[in-house]
């Protein structure tokens, strides 16, 4: 078989999986429509002893699972692409919360999730059974119509990898001990799979060649290299990457495009089989370079294919500037880790192709095109304006600031977040190409201004501001002891820089937001030479960034910068350069020297204009105003992806009397 091009969407999760097969099929089919030559599923469980509940992946436990996956292959084949399935047994990565079967692994030990469960070491009968499960799943995959079937050993999530790794495999029989013995099961399963389906299906190996653990783990210049060399010609395709997932899917805050090349480049030199690899490739020039240099045969992508499912077609058509580039924020990854359907900061239509009928490139024309005024040029405002303009509306965007982008413009100047500026840049460029859009900066509007303009439909996207009163998750009421003249918020630093901080003593950052911003500000301030203490009621720095795979790197970086971390403490008092903080469990009070207190707690919508317009609602009809809406952070503060989604949804629903129902699969039968 042959792919129609070199663009290969490697396996990635969607949070749709076996529970929402129609939504998953439509998502994958949209990728094929967008020009991806190969479109892969997420990991696909082969047996109830590999149950990763509550995560929602695909399943091939038995023949009843075939129809759901055939929806995927039919959708992919409709556009001429090849369909690939990543078979997996999770080994000690799963606790089998639904099936309640015993987790399996090479030797005694605990599962590597948080459950207080230990694995059953596999005896030879278990190994024979596992080989049969994998073979049966491969046959079912063939019946479902897949062209490529994976044998998967990566991300510290698979039984086959656990047998390869000496830190897990303590066996003394023919499946443990020496390198060749630890390789045995992997080799056998590749052979089993080829024997079962190799007449019509390609068999791919997905292998992590390095774990970034040094001598404690697999490395690309030792056993990672040796595995590829030993099996060089056995699979039909090599898909190579890093392990675990936090290394394979590093964010742009901690890595550059092509960051895996130094680890995976050797593979092509020791096999004649096609090699696919990843590295958050978004630049066509970089893609061409790795092909010409002989590092890869196929450009693998997960996150870039989510941000722009039509990336290949845009390159083929010479529309490079139209590529909606991935920003490497890992909101897509966070969706899976939080066990919810996929979402993306750049692409608000991902996961909505079936249930809402949204297409990433097409938006239906308005039945009755009207004029819209968007107040605010941040992520919500720009996305709403673009959607409305593409539907045929006349759109005016006005922003009080002297630059476009709102919070994105400010935050993208922080350490490691430059790629986030793509949220602004792509939308602004697209809007500038359209004749029915007018863009105005330095244009602060009052309610009277808006009434005077007599524009029928108004969307307020004026954003939000950070609170300076301590209100957040821990403190649900403003704190009376906080003199607002003595405390700062992220808005102060984002607009004026570190000059707002006192140079006389320590800076205390109090984080009750618990995502990325407080830690990035701590990094900025520490790099500027300040003594920084990071206080949080949470047990670790930026706990929600566990979902984006950044937490450990973030805490490590702050420690290396000399930031003093004080976890599990909340605000208690503040006076005369001393901040009192209290243990969230015992109430015991600590006193910290503090000359500048930076609060990162929660935000309030900037909805003054909404309130002023609402007070003048009796004048709307005379002014020809039909609707006034709030979108994005102005309606409810959230992450940037939420603001983009809000703007896009506003544009999609424009002109609708009632919002269409979201289609559900809860009661569907495939």
pTM score: 0.95
Q: Are both 34 and 84 inside the same structural domain?
A: yes
Say how far apart CA 425 and CA 117 lie, in whole Å: 48
How does DSSP classify residue 414?
A: S
Quick one: tokens of 263?
């680890």
**ω before 54 within 30° of 0 (cis)?**
yes
Task: Judge if 162 and 94 occupy the same domain.
Answer: yes
- The residue ranges of the chain whose pLDDT is under 50 are none
Say whether 329 is catalytic. Answer: no
Expressed in angstroms, the distance from the first to the final Cα of the chain is 29
Whether 359 is covered by a domain: the verdict is: no
Which neighbouring-strand residues pair with 58?
Answer: 44
Question: What are the beta bridge partners of residue 300?
Answer: 8
Number of domains in the chain: 3
Give the pLDDT confidence score for residue 483 in this predicted structure: 80
The Cα 46–Cα 100 span in angstroms is 15
pLDDT digits (tens, 9 = 90+) for 28-42: 999 999 999 999 999
Considering the candidates 152, 281, 516, 569, report the single residue annotated as catalytic. 152
> What's the pLDDT at 670?
52
Q: Please identify which of the residues 13, 326, 329, 332 carries the catalytic annotation.
A: 13
> Do 203 and 295 fall into the same domain?
yes
339 is catalytic: no
3-state secondary structure of 416: coil
Backbone angles phi, psi at 316, to 5 degrees: -60, -35
Q: What's the CATH code of the domain at 448?
A: 3.40.50.720
Q: What are phi and psi of 560, to 5 degrees?
A: -65, -30
pLDDT at 669: 53
| Residue-level pLDDT at 437 | 98
**C-alpha span between 352 and 667 (Å, rounded):** 18
Judge whether 271 lies within some domain.
yes
CB 360 within 8 A of CB 351: no
Q: Are residues 101 and 199 in the same domain?
A: yes
CATH code (residue 532): 3.50.50.60
Is residue 363 a part of any domain in this protein?
no
On whether both 506 and 634 belong to a single domain, the answer is no
Told to judge if 77 belongs to the known catalytic residues of this protein, a careful annotator would answer no
462-483 per-position pLDDT tens digit: 999 999 999 999 999 999 999 8
Tell me the percentage of the chain whose pLDDT exceeds 70.
99
Known active-site residue 155? yes
Choice among 18, 89, 93, 155 that is catalytic: 155
Q: State both tokens at 664.
A: 């559900």
Q: Indicate if 141 and 288 belong to the same structural domain.
A: yes
Give just the sign of the alpha carbon dihedral 540, 541, 543, 548.
Answer: negative
**Structural domain for 527, as ranges:** 467-603
Is the residue at 365 inside a domain? Answer: no
At 505 the pLDDT is: 78
Question: Do residues 508 and 396 share a domain?
Answer: no
From the candidates 236, 239, 248, 308, which is the catalytic residue? 248
Q: Which pLDDT belongs to residue 286?
A: 95
- For the stretch 357-380, pLDDT in tens is 999 999 999 998 889 999 999 999
């Amino acid at each position: 078989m042959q792919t129609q091009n070199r663009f290969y969407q490697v396996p990635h999760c969607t949070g749709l999986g076996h529970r929402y097969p129609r939504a998953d099929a439509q998502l994958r089919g949209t990728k094929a429509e967008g020009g991806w030559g190969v479109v892969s599923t997420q990991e696909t469980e082969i047996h109830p002893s590999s149950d990763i509940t509550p995560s929602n992946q695909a399943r091939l436990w038995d023949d009843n699972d075939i129809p759901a996956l055939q929806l995927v292959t039919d959708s992919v084949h409709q556009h001429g692409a090849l369909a690939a399935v990543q078979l997996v047994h999770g080994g000690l990565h799963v606790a089998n919360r639904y099936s309640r079967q015993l987790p399996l692994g090479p030797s005694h030990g605990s599962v590597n999730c948080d459950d207080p469960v230990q694995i059953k070491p596999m005896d030879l009968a278990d190994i024979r059974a596992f080989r049969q499960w994998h073979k049966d799943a491969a046959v079912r995959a063939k019946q479902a119509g897949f062209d490529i079937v994976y044998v998967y050993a990566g991300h510290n999530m698979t039984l086959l990898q656990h047998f390869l790794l000496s830190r897990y495999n303590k066996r003394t029989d023919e499946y443990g001990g020496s390198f060749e013995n630890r390789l045995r099961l992997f080799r056998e399963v590749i052979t089993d799979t080829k024997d079962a389906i190799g007449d019509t299906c390609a068999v791919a190996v997905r292998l992590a060649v390095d774990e970034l653990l040094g001598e404690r783990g697999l490395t690309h210049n030792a056993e990672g290299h040796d595995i590829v060399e030993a099996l060089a010609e056995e699979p039909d395709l090599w898909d190579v990457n890093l392990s675990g997932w936090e290394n394979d899917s590093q964010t742009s805050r901690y890595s550059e495009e092509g960051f895996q090349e130094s680890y995976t480049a050797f593979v092509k030199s020791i096999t004649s089989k096609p090699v696919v690899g990843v590295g958050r490739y978004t630049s066509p020039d970089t893609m061409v370079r790795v092909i010409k240099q002989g590092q890869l045969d196929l450009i693998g992508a997960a996150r870039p294919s989510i941000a722009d499912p039509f990336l290949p077609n845009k390159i083929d058509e010479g529309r490079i500037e139209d590529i909606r580039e991935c920003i490497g924020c890992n909101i897509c990854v966070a969706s899976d880790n939080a066990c919810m359907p996929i979402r993306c900061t750049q692409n608000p239509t991902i996961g909505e192709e079936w249930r809402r009928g949204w297409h990433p490139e097409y938006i239906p024309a308005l039945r009755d095109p009207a004029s819209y005024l968007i107040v605010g040029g941040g992520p919500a405002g720009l996305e709403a304006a673009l959607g409305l303009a593409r539907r045929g509306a006349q759109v005016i965007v006005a922003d009080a600031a002297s630059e476009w982008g709102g919070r994105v413009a400010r935050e993208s100047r922080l350490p490691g977040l430059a790629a986030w500026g793509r949220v602004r840049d792509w939308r602004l460029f697209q809007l500038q190409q359209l004749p029915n859009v007018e863009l105005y900066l330095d244009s602060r509007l009052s309610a009277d201004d808006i009434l005077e303009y007599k524009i029928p439909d108004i969307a307020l996207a004026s954003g939000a501001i950070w609170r300076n009163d301590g209100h957040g998750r821990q403190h649900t009421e403003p704190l009376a002891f906080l003199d607002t003249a003595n405390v700062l918020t992220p808005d102060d630093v984002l607009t004026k820089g570190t000059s707002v901080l006192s140079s006389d003593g320590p800076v205390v950052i109090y984080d009750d937001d618990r995502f990325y911003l407080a830690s990035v500000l701590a990094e900025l301030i520490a790099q500027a030479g300040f003594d920084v203490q990071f206080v949080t009621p949470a047990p670790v720095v930026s706990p929600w960034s566990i979902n984006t795979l950044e937490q450990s790197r973030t805490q490590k970086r702050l420690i290396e910068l000399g930031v003093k971390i004080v976890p599990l403490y909340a605000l208690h008092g503040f006076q005369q350069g001393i901040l009192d903080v209290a243990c969230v469990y015992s109430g015991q009070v600590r006193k910290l020297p503090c000359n500048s207190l930076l609060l990162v707690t929660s935000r309030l919508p900037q909805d003054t204009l909404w309130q002023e317009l609402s007070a003048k609602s009796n004048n709307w009809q005379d002014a020809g105003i039909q609707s006034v809406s709030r979108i994005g952070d102005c309606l409810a503060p959230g992450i940037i992806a939420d603001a983009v989604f809000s703007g896009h949804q506003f544009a999609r629903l424009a002109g609708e009397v009632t919002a269409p129902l979201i289609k559900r699969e809860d009661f569907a039968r495939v």
